[in-house]
Amino acid sequence: MSIFERARELAVIQSAAEAIAWDQETYMPSHANDHRAKQLSWLAAHAHEMATCDDWRRDLEDAENNDTGSDPKLTTNLRELRRQFDRATKLPTALVARESTATSLAKHAWAEAREKSDFKAFAPHLEKLLEIAREKAALWGYANEPYDALLEGYERGTSTAAVATLFDQLRPEIRSIAAAAVQKSNQQSITLPAGPYPVAAQQKLNQQIAESIGFDFTAGRIDTTAHPFCTTLGPHDVRLTTRYDENDFTSSLFGVLHEAGHGLYEQGLPADDFGLPSGAAVSLGIHESQSRLWENHVGRSREFWQKWYPVAQEIFSQLRDFPLDKFLRFIRTAAFSPIRVEADEATYDLHILLRFDIERRMLNGSLCVNEVPAAWSEGFRELFGFTPKNDREGCLQDIHWSMGGLGYFPTYTLGNIHAASLFACAKSDANIASAIGVADYAPLLAWLRQNIHAHGSTLDPSDLIQQATGKKPSSEDYIKHLTHRYL
């Protein structure tokens, strides 16, 4: 069996695990969680054994030895398979299985703890996941701190120090823009007309909009969950989820636009290369650039709503006497909210600065788990000027830690930065800009397909952005975007 056949076989097993993990978050009855944890643990262990076995090593070495360099894609796939293999073989199968079980149980515990706003109920699970994360970091090795090893798994080619430097540079600008934007919004407070906005009507509008920007519903669907996400179960099976608020239809809509951005990326990857690096997303920062581009640069634009607001007014009668200009001010309102997923663009990155700091401290041992709620409140007060009223609105609001996703959060701000650069570059094409002006996003999607999606993970994230935009990754376009939109 060739190494590529092995990689494709592994992808089938991993996609089966994704299918039952998706079910766990959407339709699975709560009492089934213990058995589901066993299923996922077995699949994770089996997949890890396959990807680190002697046969895999032998076939990879044979392919590397026989590579003449005449096929760049083949060479790149081998390079990335080698990178993945070397990283995977440093982890024992027992640890991989233990982590899978721990995350399955932790996600269930997190959902219950969040519902009850009870961090103490989740704390033992977080302790266990931190212990596993530190074990993994020690086995992988790192240059300066454990966070380096975890961050590499989400955003290869960067480091904790590089992210910290970037964030330190951004912090004063982001805080200044956020404060000014919030003050401006407070001077022209806008309230959405009272609900209800029925869930069924929201679902109708959300699907129409997702389809209009290019999401293929013959190869995907939208479901409901506690925390919106996108997952891929196969080359033609991309699942979006959102949650609904009958008092504000924009909550689910922007959730769908965000997740559809992820979904468009997944649907744009080379389907024939599923299971190979050339058919996989390169990083979470690049993934997040796609979701934030569609959610914010497209979804909060005047051009977008000049097309879709009349449709929304037909579906929701209470909007008919609410002018478009007022609605635009509403969806661009800046406010210091405790909830990250509901935060506006101007204040969003403050949430990431907080999480990055807390994660680093937890991993290096300078912050104990039982100190997290207090540290969260202290950090939040420093950035936002107030404290969340409870754990549900504070340190329990995100699912990521329960998923074992430590090291994940910086990719959101990296995604914001990349999204602004990509959108600015795409709009420099007169044909794309003209189409965007009439809410025709097919040319924009085609540009992203060609410059981002088609490359899979054959380039490092920073190289991919530089090739697409013609310049090294920079926050310049992002700061310009925030300043123009909010100030």
The CA distance from 191 to 257, in Å, is 22
Which of these three, 116, 144, 172, is where a domain ends?
144
Cβ-contact 255, 205 below 8 angstroms: no
Q: Among positive and negative, which fits the CA dihedral 119, 120, 125, 129?
A: positive
Q: 89-138 pLDDT, tens per residue?
A: 999 999 999 999 999 999 999 999 999 999 999 999 999 999 999 999 99
Nearest alpha carbon to residue 254 among 216, 291, 307: 291
Residue among 25, 180, 189 nearest 108 (CA): 25
Residue 259 a catalytic site member: yes
Residue 86 neighbours by CB distance under 10 Å: 12
Residues 391 and 485 in one domain: yes
- Number of domains comprising the chain: 2
Radius of gyration (C-alpha) of the chain in whole angstroms: 22
Report pLDDT digits (tens) over 397-438: 999 999 999 999 999 999 999 999 999 999 999 999 999 999
- State whether 91 and 186 are in the same domain: no
For 53, list phi and psi in degrees, rounded to 5.
-75, 170
Same domain, 84 and 169: no
Q: What would the two tokens of residue 284 be? A: 């979470």
pLDDT band at 342 (very low <50, low <70, confident <90, very high): confident
Q: Are residues 237 and 344 in the same domain?
A: yes
Summarize pLDDT for 35-68 with one digit per residue, the tens: 999 999 999 999 999 999 999 999 999 999 999 9
Domain co-membership, 133 together with 175? no
Do 65 and 139 fall within a single domain? yes
As a whole-number percent, the residues of the chain with pLDDT over 70 amount to 100
pLDDT classification of 478: cutoffs 50, 70, 90: very high
Confidence band for 228, pLDDT divided at 50, 70 and 90? confident
Residue 204 has pLDDT above 90, yes or no: yes
- Backbone torsions φ then ψ of 21, nearest 5 degrees: -70, -40
Q: 73 and 170 in one domain?
A: no
Residue 227 has pLDDT above 80, yes or no: no
| 273, 72 contact by CB (below 8 A) | no
Same-domain check for residues 254 and 131: no
Residues 164, 121, single domain; the answer is: no
Together in a domain, 251 and 183: yes
C-alpha distances in angstroms, 436 versus 207, 280, 303, 443? 20, 28, 7, 8
Same domain, yes or no: 261 and 393 = yes
For the chain, give the percent of residues with pLDDT over 90: 98
Which of 122, 144, 166 is the C-terminal boundary of a domain?
144
Query: Last residue of some domain: 115, 144, 173?
Result: 144
- The pLDDT tens digits for 439-476 are 999 999 999 999 999 999 999 999 999 999 999 999 99
Instruction: In whole angstroms, give the CA distance from residue 382 to residue 198.
Output: 38
Q: Range of 92's domain? A: 3-144
pTM of the model: 0.95
Residue 188, pLDDT score: 85
- Catalytic residue selected from 25, 152, 259, 359: 259
Check if the beta carbon of residue 132 is closer than 8 Å to that of residue 102: yes
Q: Find how far residue 161's CA is from the centre of its chain.
A: 21
- The pLDDT tens digits of the residues spanning 377-387 come to 999 999 999 99
Give pLDDT, residue 312: 98
- The CA-based angle 281-14-107, given to 5 degrees, is 90
pLDDT at 24: 92
7: nearest Cα among 456, 460, 464? 456
Contact (CB, 8 A) for 244 and 199: yes
- pLDDT, tens only, 286-323: 999 999 999 999 999 999 999 999 999 999 999 999 99
Mean pLDDT (whole number) for 151-155: 96
Residues 188-211 have a mean pLDDT of 96
The overall average pLDDT reported for the chain is: 96
User: In this predicted structure, what is the pLDDT of residue 209?
Assistant: 98
Length of the chain: 487
Q: What is the CATH number of the domain that holds 396?
A: 1.10.1370.30
Mean pLDDT for 258-286 is: 98
Q: Say yes or no: 189 and 112 in one domain.
A: no
